[in-house]
Structure 1
Amino acid sequence: MTQLIYKDESYAIMGACFQVYKEMGCGFLESVYQECLEIEFEFQKIPFEAQKELRLTYRERPLKKTFVADFLCYDKIIVEIKAVSNLTNEHRAQLQNYLNGTECKLGLLVNFGHYPKVEYERFIFETKRQR
């Protein structure tokens, strides 16, 4: 049986997401959920940085290009939020690329636009293959 990476931290993050969905439901813009999650993370004392600019690397060299994660929680978990009817492979690829580019080990893709409940997926950083 495999152990969940950052189990306690990811459960706390998802608990905050469930609370926001319980209070707000679906149908708002992503920016509304972003603001609500900031408040909920503070309330639950979950360490986070919102709209965190992260550096990408290639061959262990930092790139000039950066990306902005919706949240970086516990200084190690990327949380990407959406407000769409269904998650798509493009959303999944976005988060997987963020993990590959930063080498953070865990990403959570959370969709507040799904009815009747919040939709979420966990992504684990997979070690890059050597050629």
Structure 2
Amino acid sequence: MTENEISKIVFETGLKIHKKLGAGLFEHVYEECLFYELKKAGFLIEKQKLLPIVYEDLKIDNAFKLDLMIENKVILEIKTVEYISPVHKAQLLTYLKMSNCKLGLLLNFQSDVFKNGVTRIVNNL
């Protein structure tokens, strides 16, 4: 399955969750619901995946913590903020580069309209 096919399913799943629960909950609630739904759909999905970083001879095993990684291809960063700022986008782009993934989705469940809270970030896609 391609990154774009996965992202379509993630969007539909996020929309379902947003319609059912609405905005205003903590990030981990939406993360758990996404994990549950995507796992139920048969995806290989990792929650709170740690990514290392190597600096010269130093390896820092837990340098980054991804919210969700799907099929080792797509990274989901879950937010419940008033708006997505440039630092949120930079954070996800860094995760993409460090993991060699090509697509990331910022899902802001605080948005009144779910589609307005979704931002795609690409890394050489």
- TM-score over 0.5 (shorter chain): yes
User: How does the TM-score come out when normalised to structure 1?
Assistant: 0.81
Structure 1 runs of 4+ aligned residues shifted over 6 Å read none
Alignment of 1:1-131 (within 5 A): 6-57=3-54, 63-65=59-61, 66-118=63-115, 119-126=117-124
Q: d(CA) in 1 for partners of 2:3 and 2:65?
A: 22
Alpha-carbon distance, 1:126 to partner: 4.0
1:76-131: CA deviation from partner (whole Å, max 9, x where unpaired): 2111110112111111111011112222111111110111324111111149xxxx
Q: Which has the higher helix share?
A: 2
Q: d(CA) in 1 for partners of 2:99 and 2:22?
A: 32
Alpha-carbon RMSD? 2.2
Q: d(CA) in 2 for partners of 1:57 and 1:80?
A: 22
Size of the aligned set, in residue pairs, is: 122
State the identity %.
32
Gapped regions of structure 1 (runs ≥ 5): none
